[in-house]
C-alpha cells in the first residue's frame, strides 16, 4: 500500500519547496523505498506551456510530452521517481476534467461544487500520480498556506489523509525563520502564524522544515515545537546551502528528516543509507580544480529560472570534470546592439538556448557567427540550433535570404520551416512537437563519439524544423547532419565534425541531465570549453614568454 507525504509551504514563496520535496525523495530512496513525486499547482492555466518564461520560469517537458512546472525538473534531477504527465496537476486541469464530466452528465441531478466535486477530482489526481508499485508518494502543493487559490488543494489533502488513516499520510510544512539583523535574532512568529493557517483548515503539520540563514539553537527548536504542536525532533533545520542545491539531501539527512518520515509513516525501510555519491558530488562543487566561463545568449536572460535546466546541466557537466562553470548571461538584443567582440570576449564557450519569436534572434545569430569564426566551443539548443543553421546558411553556404519562417514567413530561403502537421494547428496549448523521440546518430560524427551510442531518446518542444530542401546545400558547405529522426527524416543534430564541439540539437538535452549522471553533450561541451581555456592559458603563457624574451 502506498503512503503519502504532503509538502506545503508557508510565510513566503521561493523557499525551495521543490528542492526540499526532491531531497525527501532522495532520502527515502536511500532507505530502499520506491518513491513517486507529484506537484499540484493552484494556477488556472491547464499547464504552464502557454506562460511566459518571465512569468513562470522554464517549462519542463516530460518524456511522455507533458509541459509542466519546473519543479519537476528538480524531481527528475535528484531522484529516480518516474515523472510523467500525471506528475503535475493544476487548478486548470482539475476544473477542465470536472467540467468535461459535467457535460457528459456524470453528475446528473447534482449541483457541481468545489466540495466535493473539485476536491474529489484532486484526490483522484493524487491517486493517479502515485504510480503503481510506489511505497511512498510525495506531493508538493504549490503556493503558500493562506492563498485563496490553494484552499481547495489543502481541503482535498486534509480529506485524503483522513481517509487513508493515521500512519498512512503525513504533512511536512516548509517555513521561513527570518533573521532580523537589527535585533540580531531569528524570528519564529511567521512560522507559528503559517502553521496556524493550516490548523484553521484542519491540517496539523507532522514535520516542520525551517529555512534559515543561520543555524537554529535548541531553544528555538523547543519554542517552535511547543507553539506549533510538533515534536522537537520533527523540527528540521534547512539552512542556506554554501555552494550547491545538491547539498540539501545531505543537510536534511544530517537533521534526521528521513527518520522522522519513516517513523510517522511506520515505513518498513532499510537502515543503511550511504550518502557517499552525494558527498562526492558536494566535494566536486565545493573544491573545483578549475573554472570555465560559458556565455548563455538568450532572450529571457534576466530570470535565472527561465533557463533553469540549462544552467543545471552545465553545472553537472562542470562537476563531472571537477570544474566550476561560471555563466556569463547575455541578453541577445544587447549582443546585437553592443557587438559580440565586446560581450563575448574571454568566454570559453557559447551556448544559445531555446526560444520563440523574433526578438533577439539576430543577436543570437551574431553569437553563433562569433563562436564559429573564433573556433569557440558552441552549443545550440532548439532555437539555438536553428540560429546555428541560419548562420551557416547565410555566411558559409551563402544561401540568399536564409531565415526561419517563424520570424519571416515570406523569406526567400526558409532553412528552418514549420512542420507540415503544424500548418493547420491553431490552439497554442500542448500542440507543439512534444516529448521524447528516437534519434539515430550517424557513424563517424562528433555526436556519435560523444554519445557512444547510435540511438538516443531526447525530448522536444518546438514547431519549426530543419528544412530538408536545403540539406544538400548545407552539407556540401560542411555542416554535417549527424542525428536523424528516421520515421520522418527530420534532422535533429547538426555539427561541424572537425571541431571539438560545434553542435546544435533540435531537442532539449538539458531535461535529461542529472548531477550524478551529467548529460554526455553537456559534459562534452564543458570539456571542450576547459580544453579551450587551457589552450588560451597556454597561448597567454607563450605570449608572456615571448614578451619577456
Ligand atoms: N521557436 C522554435 C520553434 O518553435 C524553437 C522552440 C524552442 O527553442 N523550444 O521551433
Q: How far is CA 57 from the centre of its chain?
A: 9
Considering only CA atoms, which residue is closest to atom 1 of ligand 1? Answer: 356
Burial profile 241-273: b = 16 or more Cβ within 10 angstroms, e = fewer: beebbbbbbbbbbebebbbbbbbbbebebeeeb
**Together in a domain, 235 and 359:** no
Q: Does some domain include residue 14?
A: yes
**Together in a domain, 329 and 203:** no
**Together in a domain, 412 and 445:** yes
Q: For residue 254, give the H/E element and its range.
A: helix 248-254
Alpha-helical (H) ranges within 398-470 are: 446-451
**Together in a domain, 292 and 258:** no
Query: CA 372, CA 502: separation in Å to the nearest integer?
Result: 8
**Which region, left, alpha or beta, applies to residue 398 given φ > 0 means left and ψ of -120 to 50 means alpha?**
left
Q: Which atom of ligand 1 is nearest to the CA of 356?
A: 1
**Together in a domain, 203 and 347:** no
508 annotated active-site: yes
Which residues lie with the beta carbon below 6 Å from any ligand 1 atom?
354-356, 382-383, 406, 461-464
Pocket test for ligand 1, best of 417, 422, 461, 510 (most atoms within 8 A of CB): 461
Q: With contact defined as beta carbons under 8 Å apart, do 463 and 432 qualify?
A: yes
Using DSSP's 3-state secondary structure scheme, residue 221 falls into helix
**Together in a domain, 315 and 385:** yes
* pLDDT tens track, the chain, 549 positions: 999 999 999 888 888 999 999 999 999 999 999 999 999 999 999 988 888 888 888 999 999 999 999 999 999 999 999 999 999 999 999 999 999 999 999 998 899 999 999 999 999 999 998 978 899 999 999 999 989 999 999 999 999 999 999 999 999 999 999 998 888 888 889 999 999 999 999 999 999 999 998 899 999 999 999 999 999 999 999 999 888 999 999 999 999 999 999 999 999 888 767 899 999 999 999 999 999 999 999 988 888 889 999 999 999 999 999 999 999 999 999 998 999 999 999 999 999 999 988 889 999 999 999 999 999 999 999 999 999 999 999 999 999 999 999 999 999 999 999 877 777 777 788 888 899 999 999 999 999 999 999 999 999 999 999 999 999 999 999 999 999 999 999 999 999 999 999 999 999 999 999 999 999 999 999 999 999 999 876 776 677 667 766
Q: Which of 281, 309, 335 is the last residue of a domain?
A: 281
Q: Catalytic residue among 173, 264, 510, 519, which?
A: 510
Q: Does some domain include residue 300?
A: yes
Whichever domain contains 237, its CATH number is 3.40.50.300
For the question of whether the overall pTM of this predicted structure is more than 0.85, the answer is: yes
Query: CA 308, CA 76: separation in Å to the nearest integer?
Result: 13
Q: Catalytic residue among 56, 173, 264, 508, which?
A: 508
Pocket test for ligand 1, best of 463, 466, 505 (most atoms within 8 A of CB): 463
Beta sheet of 235-239, edge-to-edge order: 88-90, 35-41, 136-141, 3-9, 169-177, 207-212, 235-239
Q: Does some domain include residue 424?
A: no
Considering only CA atoms, which residue is closest to atom 3 of ligand 1? Answer: 462
Q: With contact defined as beta carbons under 8 Å apart, do 239 and 212 qualify?
A: yes
**Together in a domain, 60 and 206:** yes
- For Cα atoms 408, 409, 415, give the angle at the middle one, nearest 5 degrees: 80
C-alpha cell at 282: 558536494
Q: For residue 540, give the H/E element and its range.
A: helix 520-548
> Ligand 1 mean position to 297 CA, how many Å?
15
Pocket test for ligand 1, best of 61, 356, 423, 511 (most atoms within 8 A of CB): 356
Query: CA 166, CA 161: separation in Å to the nearest integer?
Result: 8
Per-residue pLDDT at 115: 95
With both helix axes pointing from N to C terminus, report the angle between 308-320 and 520-548 in degrees, rounded to the nearest 10. 60
Q: Does some domain include residue 119?
A: yes
Q: Which atom of ligand 1 is nearest to the CA of 355?
A: 8
> Ligand 1 mean position to 39 CA, how many Å?
26
469: number of Cβ within 10 Å: 11
Q: Which of 247, 281, 315 is the last residue of a domain?
A: 281
Q: With contact defined as beta carbons under 8 Å apart, do 415 and 470 qualify?
A: yes
Q: Does some domain include residue 425?
A: no
Q: Which atom of ligand 1 is nearest to the CA of 354?
A: 8
Q: Which atom of ligand 1 is nearest to the CA of 381?
A: 8
> Ligand 1 mean position to 438 CA, how many Å?
18
**Together in a domain, 260 and 335:** no
Sequence-distant (6+) residues with CB within 8 A of 542 are: none
Query: CA 270, CA 262: separation in Å to the nearest integer?
Result: 10
E strands of 306-365, at which residues? 323-331, 349-352
Query: CA 441, CA 454: separation in Å to the nearest integer?
Result: 5
Using DSSP's 3-state secondary structure scheme, residue 334 falls into helix
> Ligand 1 mean position to 381 CA, how many Å?
9
Instruction: Name the DSSP class of 217.
Output: P
> Ligand 1 mean position to 424 CA, how many Å?
17
Per-residue pLDDT at 549: 67
Q: Does some domain include residue 261?
A: yes
Which sign does the torsion angle of CA 439, 443, 448, 452 carry?
A: positive
Q: Does some domain include residue 277?
A: yes
Cα 230 to Cα 24, 198, 208, distances in angstroms: 19, 13, 8
**Together in a domain, 259 and 296:** no
Q: Which atom of ligand 1 is nearest to the CA of 461?
A: 9
**Together in a domain, 251 and 341:** no
Number of domains the chain is built from: 2
| Count of CA atoms in the C-beta half-sphere (13 A) of 137 | 30
**Together in a domain, 345 and 205:** no
Sequence-distant (6+) residues with CB within 8 A of 291 are: 323, 324, 325, 326
C-alpha cell at 210: 525551517
Q: Does some domain include residue 381?
A: yes
Query: CA 69, CA 58: separation in Å to the nearest integer?
Result: 8
> Ligand 1 mean position to 323 CA, how many Å?
30
Q: Catalytic residue among 382, 439, 465, 481, which?
A: 382
**Together in a domain, 346 and 198:** no
Q: Residue length, the chain?
A: 549
Whichever domain contains 398, its CATH number is 3.40.50.880
Using DSSP's 3-state secondary structure scheme, residue 61 falls into strand
Residue 47 belongs to what domain range? 3-281
Number of helical (H) and strand (E) elements in the chain, helices listed first = 19, 23
Q: Which residue has the cell 536511500?
A: 30
C-alpha cell at 548: 619577456
| Count of CA atoms in the C-beta half-sphere (13 A) of 310 | 32
Strands 88-90, 35-41: pairing is parallel
Pocket test for ligand 1, best of 354, 388, 405 (most atoms within 8 A of CB): 354
Per-residue pLDDT at 424: 79
> Ligand 1 mean position to 131 CA, how many Å?
31
Q: Which of 252, 281, 310 is the last residue of a domain?
A: 281
Amino acid at each position: 500500500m502506498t503512503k503519502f507525504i504532503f509538502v506545503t509551504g508557508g510565510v513566503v514563496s521561493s523557499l525551495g519547496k521543490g528542492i526540499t520535496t526532491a531531497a525527501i525523495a532522495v532520502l527515502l530512496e536511500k532507505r530502499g523505498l520506491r518513491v513517486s513525486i507529484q506537484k499540484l499547482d493552484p494556477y488556472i492555466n491547464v499547464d504552464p506551456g502557454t506562460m511566459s518564461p518571465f512569468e513562470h520560469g522554464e517549462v519542463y517537458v516530460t518524456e511522455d510530452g507533458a509541459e509542466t512546472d519546473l519543479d519537476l525538473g528538480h524531481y527528475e534531477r535528484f531522484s529516480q521517481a518516474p515523472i510523467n504527465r500525471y506528475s503535475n496537476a493544476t487548478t486548470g486541469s482539475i476544473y477542465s476534467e470536472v467540467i468535461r464530466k459535467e457535460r457528459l452528465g456524470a453528475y446528473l441531478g447534482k449541483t457541481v461544487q468545489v466540495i466535493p466535486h473539485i476536491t474529489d477530482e484532486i484526490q483522484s489526481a493524487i491517486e493517479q500520480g502515485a504510480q503503481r508499485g510506489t511505497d511512498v508518494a510525495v506531493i508538493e502543493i504549490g503556493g503558500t498556506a493562506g492563498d485563496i487559490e490553494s484552499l481547495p488543494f489543502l481541503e482535498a489533502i486534509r480529506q485524503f489523509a483522513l481517509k487513508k488513516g493515521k500512519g498512512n499520510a503525513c504533512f511536512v510544512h516548509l517555513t521561513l525563520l527570518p533573521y532580523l539583523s537589527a535585533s540580531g535574532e531569528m524570528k519564529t512568529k511567521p512560522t507559528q502564524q503559517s502553521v496556524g493557517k493550516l490548523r484553521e483548515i484542519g491540517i496539523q503539520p507532522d514535520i516542520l522544515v525551517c529555512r534559515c540563514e543561520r543555524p537554529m539553537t535548541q531553544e528555538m527548536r523547543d519554542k517552535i515545537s511547543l507553539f506549533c504542536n510538533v515534536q522537537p525532533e520533527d523540527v528540521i533545520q534547512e539552512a542556506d546551502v554554501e555552494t550547491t542545491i545538491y547539498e540539501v539531501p545531505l543537510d536534511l539527512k544530517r537533521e534526521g528528516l528521513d527518520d522522522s518520515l519513516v517513523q510517522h509513516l511506520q515505513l518498513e525501510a532499510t537502515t543503511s543509507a550511504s550518502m557517499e555519491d552525494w558527498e562526492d558530488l558536494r566535494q566536486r562543487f565545493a573544491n573545483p580544480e578549475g573554472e570555465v566561463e560559458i556565455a548563455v545568449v538568450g532572450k529571457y536572460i534576466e530570470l535565472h529560472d527561465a533557463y533553469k535546466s540549462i544552467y543545471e546541466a552545465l553545472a553537472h557537466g562542470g562537476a563531472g570534470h571537477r570544474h566550476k562553470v561560471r555563466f556569463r548571461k547575455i541578453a541577445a538584443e544587447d549582443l546585437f546592439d553592443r557587438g559580440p567582440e565586446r560581450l563575448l570576449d574571454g568566454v570559453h564557450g557559447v551556448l544559445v538556448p531555446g526560444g520563440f519569436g523574433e526578438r533577439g534572434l539576430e543577436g543570437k545569430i551574431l553569437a553563433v557567427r562569433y563562436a564559429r569564426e573564433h573556433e569557440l566551443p558552441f552549443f545550440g539548443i532548439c532555437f539555438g540550433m536553428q540560429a546555428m543553421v541560419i548562420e551557416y546558411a547565410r555566411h558559409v553556404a551563402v544561401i540568399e535570404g536564409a531565415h526561419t519562417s517563424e520570424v519571416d514567413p515570406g523569406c526567400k530561403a526558409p532553412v528552418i520551416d514549420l512542420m507540415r502537421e503544424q500548418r493547420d494547428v491553431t490552439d497554442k496549448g500542448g500542440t507543439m512537437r512534444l516529448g521524447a523521440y528516437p534519434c539515430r546518430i550517424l557513424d563517424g560524427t562528433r555526436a556519435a563519439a560523444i554519445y557512444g551510442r547510435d540511438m538516443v531518446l531526447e525530448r522536444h518542444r518546438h514547431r519549426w524544423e530543419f528544412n530538408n530542401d536545403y540539406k544538400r546545400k548545407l552539407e556540401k558547405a560542411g555542416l554535417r547532419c549527424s542525428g536523424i529522426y528516421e520515421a520522418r527524416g527530420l534532422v535533429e543534430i547538426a555539427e561541424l565534425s572537425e571541431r571539438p564541439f560545434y553542435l546544435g540539437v533540435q531537442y532539449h538535452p538539458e531535461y535529461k541531465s542529472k548531477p550524478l549522471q551529467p548529460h554526455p553533450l553537456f559534459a562534452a561541451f564543458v570539456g571542450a570549453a576547459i580544453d579551450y581555456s587551457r589552450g588560451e592559458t597556454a597561448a597567454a603563457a607563450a605570449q608572456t614568454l615571448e614578451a619577456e624574451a
